[in-house]
Amino acid sequence: MRLRSVELEIADVGAAADFLERVWGLVAAGTSGATRFFRGTGDHPYILSLAKASAPAVASITFSGSPEEVDTVRRRNGSPRLIRFNVPGSGEGFEVRGPEAQNYRFISETEKTTPLGDRDKPIQLTHAVVNATDVEASERFAVEKLGFQVSDRTGHMRFLRCNRKHHAVAYAHSSLASLNHIAFEMQSLDAVMRGMARLREAGFEPVWGPGRHGPGNNVFGYFIAPYGGIVEYTAEVSEVGDDYRVGTPEDWKWPPGRIDHWGLSKKDTAKTAAAEAVLRFKNLP
């Protein structure tokens, strides 16, 4: 199973598309009605979609896998009805609702797109971090209903995987259910740094990074997109298997004043908290 895409609703699709294509490095991948699709350089037909709406929201977080993998998750959830999604790559799948209105979509991978050659553009999404008021409940749902495995638990977050990559989804404790951020996988540490330079040249300063995370050991640079959500360039995320010992909060304590392995980064917590609050789940009661 792989994280494939995130479907967003925002007010100014044109401005967001301009940022995503011209600055962030995604590639236009077609339209369906008023919805615009964007791909990375990897083999997913698209990795992000933007639909116009009066209030910004996360419509869904989408995973894809073989028909057998998708069917296994579907049966865990009582076999919800199959949907043929009108998106690039097509594919049949289903949706399930998490404990805090997170809408997870699973789609059978019926076709892969030819990868592109640009070494400095995002390849694909590699994780989505979700703010949850009850991370225990979200973790339990991801294990029992989505079939994911826990990789690490920190005092603040739960990291879960659906393949060998350390995490595809993580839950961060918050007073507000929303999208914390989405991370775009880059080819290398150099590609992350060149991407950060591209953002700086376009007038965007990082709100956190560059740095190297604890859980997952990936390098990172975080920015606030003009539409309000947080986007991350990342690379070198660790791969783990069944022999990986699930880390505990005790394993992931930083020395005073440090919030990543390098000790260089400072996080603009006020700005990031405000940006995290923008993208709430569409069906949140």
Q: For 87-99, give the secondary structure using H, E and C.
A: CCCCCEEEEEECC
Q: How far is CA 6 from CA 47, 62, 130, 156, in A?
A: 6, 6, 12, 23
Round to whole Å and give the CA distance between 122 and 24.
8
Closer residue to Fe ion (CB): 152 or 232: 232
Round to whole Å and give the CA distance between 211 and 231.
15
Told to check if 237 binds Fe ion by CB under 5 A, we report no
Q: x/- site string to Fe ion, residues 156 to 185, per CB under 5 A?
A: ---------------------------x--
Closer residue to Fe ion (CB): 121 or 165: 165
Closer residue to Fe ion (CB): 16 or 183: 183
Count the Cβ atoms, other than its own, within 10 Å of residue 249: 12
Told to check if 276 binds Fe ion by CB under 5 A, we report no
Told to check if 260 binds Fe ion by CB under 5 A, we report no
Told to check if 232 binds Fe ion by CB under 5 A, we report yes
Round to whole Å and give the CA distance between 39 and 15.
17
Task: Report which of 169, 156, 253, 230 is spatially closest to residue 1, judged by C-alpha positions.
Answer: 169
Ranked by CB distance to Fe ion, the top (closest) residue is 183
Closer residue to Fe ion (CB): 13 or 47: 47
- Stretch touching Fe ion by CB under 5 A, among 5-13, 132-140, 186-194, 225-233: 225-233
Which positions lie near Fe ion, rule CB under 5 A?
183, 232
